[in-house]
C-alpha cells in the first residue's frame, strides 16, 4: 500500500469534514502518522479511526486531531502545552505549527517510544516529560495554548492558571465514556470564556486533577 497516497486521501477527507485551517491541513499532510502506530497497523494509520497503541491507550482519529488543533488557532510562534503525549502524533502536528511544545505523559513506555519517533523526525522543539499531566507544567507556564488529549471530569483550575492572557485551551470534558470538546479562552484581562463544541470519546484523564486510576 502506498502510504503517501493514503495520507493524501486522509487529508482530503478532513477537508470534506470541515477542516479549513490551511496550516493544519499542511501539517496533517506532512507528518507520517504510520510511524506512530505499531508496524502491523501501518496500513490502517490513515483511516479516520482511533487505533490502539498499547498500555490501554489509543491514538486519536485524524479528524479529532485536526479539529482540536484547528480550535487552537496557532500562528507559528506559540508555546503549547499538551497533556497526554500517547503515541506522540498530536505533539508532532503541534510541533510543525508552533514555536515550542511541552508535552507530558504519565505512562513511561509510551513516553519513551514517542520521544524516539519525534527525535527520528527531527522535531527538536518538543520537550517531553513523564509525570502527572493534570498538574500541567507550572515552571514553564504561561502557555499560549493548552491541548488535553484525554477526557476530564471538569476543567482543572491549575490549567486555567497556566494559560497566558489571550490564550486558548481545548479539553474534552464529561463522564468516563462520553465527553464534549470545550474551548476555554482567557481574555487579556484574565476573564474566562467557555464554548462547547463537538461530542467525543477519549480515554480518561488520570491524575490529581482528573479521574482516579481505579
What are 73's three cell numbers? 488557532
What are 6's three cell numbers? 493514503
Point out the catalytic residue in the list 4, 47, 60, 87. Answer: 60
Q: Which residue from 76, 11, 83, 20 is spatially nearest to 48, judged by alpha carbons?
A: 11
For the beta carbon of residue 109, count every other beta carbon within 10 angstroms. 11
60 carries an active-site annotation: yes
Helix pair angle (89-97, 108-120), 10° resolution: 40
* Pair 169, 146: CB distance under 8 Å: yes
Q: C-alpha angle with apex 24: 47 to 122, nearest 5 degrees?
A: 85
CA distance 181 to 8: 26
Q: How many CA atoms lie within 13 A of 161 on its CB side?
A: 10
Phi, psi of 94 (to 5 degrees): -60, -40
CA distance 63 to 203: 16
Phi, psi of 15 (to 5 degrees): -65, -45
Residues with catalytic annotation?
Answer: 60
Amino acid at each position: 500500500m502506498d502510504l503517501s497516497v493514503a495520507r493524501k486521501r486522509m487529508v482530503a477527507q478532513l477537508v470534506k469534514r470541515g477542516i479549513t485551517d490551511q496550516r493544519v491541513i499542511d501539517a496533517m499532510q506532512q507528518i507520517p502518522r504510520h510511524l506512530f502506530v505499531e508496524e502491523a497497523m501501518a496500513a490502517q494509520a490513515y483511516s479516520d479511526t482511533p487505533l490502539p497503541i498499547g498500555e490501554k491507550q489509543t491514538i486519536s482519529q485524524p479528524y479529532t486531531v485536526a479539529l482540536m488543533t484547528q480550535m487552537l488557532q496557532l500562528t507559528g510562534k506559540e508555546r503549547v502545552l499538551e497533556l497526554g503525549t500517547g503515541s506522540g502524533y498530536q505533539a508532532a502536528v503541534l510541533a510543525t505549527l508552533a514555536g515550542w511544545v511541552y508535552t507530558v505523559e504519565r505512562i513511561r513506555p509510551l513516553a519513551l517510544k514517542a520521544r524516539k519517533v519525534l527525535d527520528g523526525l527531527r522535531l527538536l522543539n518538543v520537550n517531553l516529560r513523564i509525570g502527572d499531566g493534570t498538574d500541567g507544567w507550572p515552571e514553564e507556564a504561561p502557555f499560549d495554548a493548552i491541548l488535553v488529549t484525554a477526557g476530564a471530569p471538569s476543567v482543572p483550575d491549575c490549567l486555567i492558571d497556566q494559560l497566558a492572557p489571550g490564550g486558548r485551551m481545548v479539553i474534552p470534558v464529561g463522564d468516563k465514556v462520553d465527553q464534549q470538546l470545550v474551548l476555554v479562552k482567557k481574555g487579556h484581562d484574565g476573564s474566562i470564556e467557555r464554548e462547547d463544541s463537538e461530542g467525543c470519546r477519549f480515554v480518561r484523564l488520570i491524575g490529581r486533577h482528573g479521574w482516579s486510576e481505579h
